[in-house]
Copies of this chain bind each other. A is one copy, B any other.
């Protein structure tokens, strides 16, 4: 058998290595138009930021090691120009010599990846404006930034790569401004979780601009002027464009392979394209989301690597293993914080017309009495009725990855929130509490599902009706420090003595710091005959983060309008 693989990074390299383990006698050739194979994309920002200092560490395999260890031929600087599906031939140009030749295949694998989006703005091609996707991109940024360590970096796009670059350039000593067109960073997250991250970014001294659009770039003597809609321009030493990627499907399209609704290469559940002798993996493919059934692309290294293994198995053994699809589990370190998401966000469920309930809890990363515990926020989206877990987001300072992994595995196997309550975690004080944050999130979701708890949300606080009341059930000290405007103070420990004076209201809206004392207050009131009672989801903590971010946004808007 002769296998050709186009693209030698995550998906392609994984496919090749597994192919060799499955078939010692096969001929396997990897084509890569760039000069690097099997490198660690996800490490690139950290090499720029000097967190990783040894560049060689970024290369998992080299051309030589692929050959020695796997008996696989790797042809770098070799661009595949076309595929002749009828003759089962590809045409390759050797970019070093300019020579063009053909190579035949029995099975062909496409792993072309995705390419960064460069919007057609005036000045987009000026020196000093970079995207980060490949090793040469990284080298260029590093070289350029070398003498501008005290300069000003403007990051356009507050997504995962944007925030990683912001942190790393800040780490180098640069002043960093992030310009994001949307009203929050990290678009896959819901606003309350993004708000927590935004507060943390601001606390590090970065200039974070939301709902802000770049209109173009002007050349400066020693940098780039970034022009903004409705705001003063910013003079930058370096500009990083990180507004997203799109699947590289040129070759597939030219070969007449079917594309999907989101313009990725369409594959079946065996990762086979519309041509049965051509398989495809990685960022360029699209595949149904297991939760919605809708086709989507996933730009993540984990799924690409796993697809490689499945693709190789299917080519060698004949479509034996189904790819289950990805639920878009993603995580990012943002300075001292970690934040991540898995499954669907509430806003995306809403947009897809999928009915769901939302619960937000805040718990310590481990037992509060053991040193170093930090607060962590968990948001769950789940189906009314069945309680199936549809999405989860976690933000905090410690143990975020652990809870996210667990929730991802629960979503992937279509578990309910009941399973979270039964989850038997490994408990000792340095690692968790007797009830893990995931258990707590499950308990609260279960209470909501069972009708033992009715919630209201941070953006409904202002809509509290006139004949209703908003009560703060924290201690008087907490209330005096800061509280939601208009709230009355009724500490939970005294609530039982004040039932009669509360009966004059048509509805009671409760909040505490995170939701736990509020829940107890809720139960006391409901079981004392109060009919309309609601507890604030995520408590004062969630409200405060969201409220502060909304206020900052409005202040910025006013300033911008003054300029315009």
Contacts and interface: CB of A to CB of B under 8 A. Distances in A.
B409 A426 contact: no
A296 interface: no
A329 B424 contact: yes
A431 B401 contact: yes
A10 B370 contact: no
Given A306-B435, A492-B69, A424 B524 contact: no
A259 interface: no
Interface string A51-68: 110100110000001001
A303 B493 CA distance: 28
Interface in A145-161: 160
Given A401-B402, A435-B305, A46 B423 contact: no
B330 A426 contact: yes
Interface residues of A, number: 86
Given A69-B492, A69-B493, A409 B427 contact: no
Nearest to A323: B422
A65 B493 CA distance: 8
A421 B43 contact: no
A402 B368 CA distance: 19
A413 interface: yes
A338 interface: yes
A342 B426 contact: yes
B401 A423 contact: no
B408 A306 contact: no
Q: Which of A40, A304, A431 has most chain B Cβ within 10 Å? A: A431
B520 A301 contact: no
B428 A331 contact: yes
Contact of A327 (B424, B435, B439, B528): B424
Contacts of A496: 71
A38 to B, nearest CB: 11
A332 B428 contact: yes
B429 A46 contact: yes
Contacts of A415: 413
B301 A23 contact: no
A23 to B, nearest CB: 7
A406 B404 contact: no
Contact of A439 (B21, B304, B306): B306
B434 A409 contact: no
A371 interface: yes
B370 A52 contact: yes
B301 A434 contact: yes
Interface string A276-317: 000000000000000000000000111111100100000000
Interface string A361-388: 0000001111100000000000000000
B443 A309 contact: yes
A16 to B, nearest CB: 13
Contact of A338 (B54, B423, B431): B431
Q: Which of A399, A401, A419 has most chain B Cβ within 10 Å? A: A401
Contacts of A51: 370-371
A97 interface: no
B370 A43 contact: yes
Interface string A5-38: 0000010000000001111110000000000000
Interface in A262-281: none
A528 B406 CA distance: 41
A360 to B, nearest CB: 19
A312 B155 CA distance: 53
A52 B523 contact: no
B367 A43 contact: yes
Contacts of A110: none
A439 to B, nearest CB: 7
A371 B24 contact: no
Interface string A164-188: 1000000000000000000000000
A519 interface: yes
A442 to B, nearest CB: 10
A481 B399 CA distance: 37
B426 A412 contact: no
Contacts of A54: 369
A405 B426 contact: yes
A229 to B, nearest CB: 32
Contacts of A432: 401
Given A21-B519, A405-B423, 12 more contacts: A40-B367, A40-B369, A51-B371, A54-B369, A69-B520, A309-B443, A329-B424, A329-B425, A331-B426, A332-B428, A408-B424, A409-B419
